[in-house]
Structure 1
Amino acid sequence: MLQLIVCDHYEELSRQAARIVAKQVTNKPTSVIGFATGSTPVGLYQELTKMYQKGEVNFKQIRTFNLDEYVGLDKEHPQSYYRFMWENLFGKVGIEKSQIHFPSGIFQDPVQACNEYESQLKKEGPIDLQILGIGANGHIGFNEPAESFILNTHIIQLADKTIEANARFFRDKSEVPRQAITMGVGNIMNAKKIILLASDKSKAKAVQSVFSSIVDPRVPATILQLHADVSILVTNEVADLLKDLNLEQIVG
């Protein structure tokens, strides 16, 4: 089931998302939470940090899984997703390092690296709440447009649009890794609940596709239509560009 939640602005979207995450952790302190990186969830992580500092939520017992990591970047690299999560959330809210799980971007054997993350997901999962962003091309995690869905953890060649979008985080576009290791869409769909955040109008077309009634691996996010519990949080800026949708029926 898809539910669209329209927020006035990015700050409200971040607060709404934080309330959903905090409720999950409060109701089940040992929750397994799937985290996403990128600019969109930064506000969410800031709000969760504030809630933690006020004593409104305790993250000590949660276990975490991140969607993806760049291939070739050590976890201490300034642009690694591990470093991103540690600086934006994990290092601020008392999460035990032993309970943080990431696919490794440094490996000798790519098959083994993927299998190891799959094993961790099976041992600790299923994920109770998965946080997602969405790419302008409809990618979720680093599941890029393709002819078929890949269900499990895998190595992906990043699309040119994704490299272009992520270049702003690097000194030069040539420094952006060309591959990533990512959860597959099957891993994402195994989560009990999913929240997807979209605050920029460039993501409106991708969000629209999720409500299209067409599941197409060339727009990976469309698979979310098959999940039982997905909340899509968008700003007014994005909602205003969602054409031909009966918002009265799907807005929560």
Structure 2
Amino acid sequence: MKIIRATEYNDMSRKAANIISAQVILYPDSVLGLATGSTPLGVYRQLVDWFRKGDIDFSKVHSVNLDEYVGLAPEHPQSYHYYMNENFFRHINIKPENTNVPNGLAEDIDAECARYDKLIADLGGIDLQLLGIGHTGHIGFNEPDQDFDKMTHKVKLNQKTIEANARFFNSVDEVPKYAITMGIKAIMQAKKILLVANGEGKAEILDRALFGPVAPAVPASILQLHPDVTVVADEAALSVIQKNHPEALM
């Protein structure tokens, strides 16, 4: 595992975007696993900027998103379909048919989850998976659980996650209670993983995830067992690690 220290959010975004850019430049037909939420926004803005300058071409890239709320239509302003289109896809030259987000309106959620896993397998797997980390240690919407052995599945969201996401809705009552998410097993099958984190609020859980016991109670802790993980985090998010494990920081 490589941990790269950034000074602040914009520096974190640039350094993470540089890793994704290098992947696409070296391997133009890469399959990118993409994340949503507030943390990756700066990464997407930087990639859009480089695309507009002619530095990166997404025309052969395929994307698969980590998750989607159950019950939200793609055009709903808080759906992850909408998030990806507004913040990334419509600003670059990725082909719409090459972008994939779970269908939160599927009548048969189990069948949708199986379809999504088959889609990823048919693409040859994920070359680089972008992740954030939640306050519960969740990656994607994989909440603290009893085991790691899940592929794409429906999950009931933890109350802390619902409260954290309420800032994107008019009230906490509007936040969906369920989501479709790539499972831990599916995420761990990605060839490379890039985890981004910023802010003091992530410092303790980031330390637990990267240096604590590997246990389903902290879902992100499984990343310690992946052969190719890069973490890019700002100084605030790394403050506990800086105190406890300074030798680990680049």
TM-score range with shorter-chain normalisation? over 0.9
2:196 equivalent in structure 1: 197
1:92 aligns with 2:112: no
Mapped partners of 2:184, 2:105: distance in 1: 22
Write out per-residue CA displacement over residues 213-242 of structure 1, whole angstroms, 9 at most, x where no aligned residue: 511101100000000011111111122222
Q: Which amino acid aligns with 2:249?
A: V
Write out per-residue CA displacement over residues 118-153 of structure 1, whole angstroms, 9 at most, x where no aligned residue: 110110131110000000110000000112224200
Write out per-residue CA displacement over residues 90-135 of structure 1, whole angstroms, 9 at most, x where no aligned residue: 1101110110011110011121111110110110131110000000
2:139 equivalent in structure 1: 140
Q: State the SS of the aligned residue for 1:84.
A: helix
Mapped partners of 1:210, 1:232: distance in 2: 11
Mapped partners of 2:75, 2:175: distance in 1: 16
1:209 equivalent in structure 2: 208
Note the C-alpha offset of 1:244. Answer: 5.3
2:114 equivalent in structure 1: 115
Q: Aligned Cα RMSD in Å? A: 1.1
Superposition TM-score, scaled by structure 1 size? 0.97
What are the residue-to-residue correspondences of 1:1-252 with 2, within 5 Å? 2-242=1-241, 245-248=244-247, 250-252=248-250
Q: Which amino acid aligns with 1:203?
A: K
Q: Would you say the 8 A contact 1:206–1:221 is kept in 2?
A: no
Q: State the SS of the aligned residue for 1:241.
A: helix
Mapped partners of 2:89, 2:100: distance in 1: 11
Superposition TM-score, scaled by structure 2 size? 0.97
Q: Which amino acid aligns with 2:64?
A: F
Q: State the SS of the aligned residue for 1:34.
A: strand
Mapped partners of 1:234, 1:106: distance in 2: 34
Q: Which amino acid aligns with 2:50?
A: M
Q: Would you say the 8 A contact 2:129–2:187 is kept in 1?
A: yes
Q: State the SS of the aligned residue for 1:211.
A: helix
Mapped partners of 1:33, 1:243: distance in 2: 30
The runs of 4+ residues in structure 1 deviating greater than 3 Å are none
User: Number of matched residues?
Assistant: 250
Write out per-residue CA displacement over residues 9-63 of structure 1, whole angstroms, 9 at most, x where no aligned residue: 1000000011100000000000000000000000000000000000000011000
- Aligned identity (percent) is 44
Note the C-alpha offset of 1:210. Answer: 2.4
Gaps of 5+ in 2: none
